[in-house]
Structure 1
Amino acid sequence: MFKKIKKLLLIVFIVFLLVFSSLLLWVSTNYSVPIIMYHNVGVGDKYENIWVTVDNFEKQLNFLKGHKYNVISLDKLIDMMNKDKSIPRNTVVLTFDDGEVNNFENAFPILKRHGLTATFFVPPAKIGKTGRLSVDQLRTMHEGGMEIGSHGNNEAYLPDLSESEQRNEIFKSKEILEKMLGAKVNHISYPVGGFSEEIKTIVKEAGYTSASTTNRGTDYSNKDVYELKRIRLSNKDNSDFLLRVKFSGYYNVFRKGKNSK
């Protein structure tokens, strides 16, 4: 009788080890640093999903600070990934698309006050246009510790363009921004998230060290630095539960399941 119990306990222990090992492997394989995507900070009259009010933006940053998240630049994240360094599980990267003037008027002062950094993806051809960032504002943000990246030259949807047009959007935007800022521009965000393997090749040729998309592609663990998935935050994300989920590092896995249905 004792031998049977001992054997049963051994089997249970082995099963437990197998399940625990599988769980650890799943956690390790499916985790990715959450790269947050913003567009506008303020009050918008349309496209609610790309707007967050000043109060909610403040609340989201307070959540990050209060729960001791490690907010780092995209530059630092890519460097750590390329060097295969261990990245703390509470790490978060903040990004903004489109180069809207409210990024300077509303987001930048709040980020500065909290001592946080973010990457702002800007289309150079739109700089100085109505509602868009000016050259002086971009320089002030860059000098204030913000990272500036490309959003294509004209914010055009790259898959719809010819190869020569794609090259112009990708190369020219980098060249203009670098000349404007007097600094390297290492990152690009695909407008509307659109990319292909051919576009990724052009991005690499241009000298970018990373490229961000939206929720397109199949690399849900963000192993490929040229198709980094991002997580949108908007006014709908105004509860601690939703913020915990989106900052968890496993939100992309949820979206993978959702998109596969």
Structure 2
Amino acid sequence: MVRKIYMNGLLLVGLIILIIVIYTKWTSFESEAFAQELLIEEREFITLQERQPMYMRDATFIKIGELEANQPFAISGEDEAYFELRLGKVVAFVSKEHATVKKSAWHTHNSHTIHNAAIKTLQKATVYGEADLQSAIIMYLEEGYRYPIVQEEKDWYIIKIGERLGYVYKQAVTLDEGLPVLVYHHILPKSLMKTTASTISLEAFEQQMDYLADNKFKTLTANQLYDYLEGRLVVPANTVLITFDDGLLSTKEYAYPILQQHGFTAIQHIISSRTNRAHGEQAFDAEGPLQFFTNTDLAELTDVFHFEAHTHDLHSLNEGLGIAFERSKEEIIRDLQQNIEQVPNAISLAYPYGHYNESFITAAKEAGLLIAFTTQEGYANMNASNYEVCRFGVTEKKSFEQFTTYINGNMVWQ
């Protein structure tokens, strides 16, 4: 009898302890979850009397969406004509016309965000206030743009607009594969070509640029690519970055007038130790040794070419490997600093021959460069490091069909 009472007592004590532990953990979890999900702030919000366009500021104002009427959105700033709000990290603007402002407490979501994905709209896309097709519509995304997302949840992609979470039905959009980045080196008329190594014919290059123009592609700068990779820029679906490595004079002779005709810009990665091999204006010799841009060229071609880094004196190989592998981080930094002296607006680097290691990456960061391009083929997207940006090498060996497949985001690598 005593034994039975003793055992029942132990069971009762154990049950009480278990209840206390569960309650403590639950209240702790509940409190932590509440803190993560909801932060109470007092903010200024706009409410629109009618649906209004939302813009992003580039060279001009570009319409990137429409905000629905009678929906509150937190503002982050204003000027005389526009309220400023945030679409993720993107700064967006809506006209002050037909808008009222009030300050109120707001439960903002402090959800864990991701910064390595975007969606692409093939048509105008609806953004809902909840993960429910029957919930209120809060805005619309424009057709033909790439938008950064903050989360993914079952059948929904989630954006953040004016401190609110917005839900985009996955079947209405497609996941953004990333931006096409083209890299060229040498250009010659087909009749003068003696090799296809790192060379494309003038005829093939002209056909490719005509295709981009006919399909209304927009070219980006290195700064714009960086903002896209950081989730700070909404870019059109038809967007491409055109790059040239080495600063060869043939690109001035043949690529420059074609790019200028179409209103395109391109990046030229300059090897600064080679710009002093000639001075002033050069007569181009298609059949002679390779010729490089001079300082005069760098000053005169800025309407089309944006000049970026390609090292000062590290563009050489030793037994098949870039000589930067033989240099210390400090030596690479000094070389890059000397390179940047000639291209002072540079924010990007093209690794010589695509060869790099951790020391090279660290040196690029410490030299103040924000992006580095490899020769690995692929798209430039938010999944990879900004110092391992993929490109697509274009030479005479690549067919026009391969070019268009890549440009249109349909290239698949095994």
Answer whether TM exceeds 0.5 for this pair: yes
Read off the aligned partner of 2:263 and give its amino acid letter: G
Alpha-carbon distance in structure 1 between the residues aligned to 2:213 and 2:276: 33
Residue of structure 2 equivalent to 1:172: 338
Deviations 1:73-117 (A, max 9, x none): 222121232243333222110000011111111111111111100
Residue of structure 2 equivalent to 1:187: 348
Residue of structure 2 equivalent to 1:233: 394
Q: How far apart are residue 220 of structure 1 and its match?
A: 7.3
Residue of structure 2 equivalent to 1:41: 187
Higher relative contact order (CA 8 A, sep 6+): 1
Q: How far apart are residue 141 of structure 1 and its match?
A: 1.3
Alpha-carbon distance in structure 2 between the residues aligned to 1:243 and 1:231: 9
**Alignment check: 8 A CA contact 2:373 2:387 kept:** yes
Helix, strand or coil at the partner of 1:132: coil
Q: How far apart are residue 164 of structure 1 and its match?
A: 3.2
| Higher Cα radius of gyration | 2
Residue of structure 2 equivalent to 1:12: none
Read off the aligned partner of 2:293 and give its amino acid letter: L
Alpha-carbon distance in structure 2 between the residues aligned to 1:185 and 1:103: 19
Residue of structure 2 equivalent to 1:148: 307
Read off the aligned partner of 2:405 and give its amino acid letter: V
Q: Give TM-score, length-normalised by structure 1.
A: 0.77
Alpha-carbon distance in structure 2 between the residues aligned to 1:78 and 1:120: 16
Deviations 1:192-239 (A, max 9, x none): 11112221121111111211111089x976632211111011223343
Q: Give TM-score, length-normalised by structure 2.
A: 0.50
Q: How far apart are residue 64 of structure 1 and its match?
A: 0.4
1:214 equivalent to 2:375? Answer yes
Alpha-carbon distance in structure 1 between the residues aligned to 2:397 and 2:156: 35
Q: Give the strand-richer structure, 1 or 2.
A: 2
Residue of structure 2 equivalent to 1:246: 406
Read off the aligned partner of 1:141 and give its amino acid letter: L
Helix, strand or coil at the partner of 1:229: strand
Helix, strand or coil at the partner of 1:185: coil
Alpha-carbon distance in structure 1 between the residues aligned to 2:366 and 2:409: 30
Quickly say closer, same or farther: Cα 1:250–1:174, change in 2 above 3 A: farther
**Alignment check: 8 A CA contact 1:32 1:250 kept:** no
**Alignment check: 8 A CA contact 1:222 1:228 kept:** no
Identity rate, percent: 23
Alpha-carbon distance in structure 1 between the residues aligned to 2:384 and 2:408: 17
Q: How many residues align?
A: 228
Equivalences for residues 198-213 of structure 1 within 5 A: 198-213=359-374
Equivalences for residues 79-118 of structure 1 within 5 A: 79-118=227-266
Alpha-carbon distance in structure 2 between the residues aligned to 1:84 and 1:176: 28
Quickly say closer, same or farther: Cα 1:210–1:124, change in 2 above 3 A: same
**Alignment check: 8 A CA contact 1:89 1:249 kept:** no
Quickly say closer, same or farther: Cα 1:216–1:106, change in 2 above 3 A: closer
Could you say what the CA RMSD is over the residues aligned between the two structures, in angstroms? 2.9
Alpha-carbon distance in structure 2 between the residues aligned to 1:77 and 1:128: 30
Residue of structure 2 equivalent to 1:159: 325
Residue of structure 2 equivalent to 1:61: 209
Residue of structure 2 equivalent to 1:6: none
Quickly say closer, same or farther: Cα 1:113–1:222, change in 2 above 3 A: farther
Q: How far apart are residue 63 of structure 1 and its match?
A: 0.5
Alpha-carbon distance in structure 2 between the residues aligned to 1:116 and 1:237: 22
Helix, strand or coil at the partner of 1:213: strand
Read off the aligned partner of 2:402 and give its amino acid letter: L
Helix, strand or coil at the partner of 2:244: strand
Alpha-carbon distance in structure 2 between the residues aligned to 1:49 and 1:237: 11
Alpha-carbon distance in structure 1 between the residues aligned to 2:409 and 2:232: 17
What runs of 5+ residues in structure 2 fail to find an aligned partner? 1-153, 158-169, 278-289, 317-321
Residue of structure 2 equivalent to 1:131: 291
Q: Give the helix-richer structure, 1 or 2.
A: 1
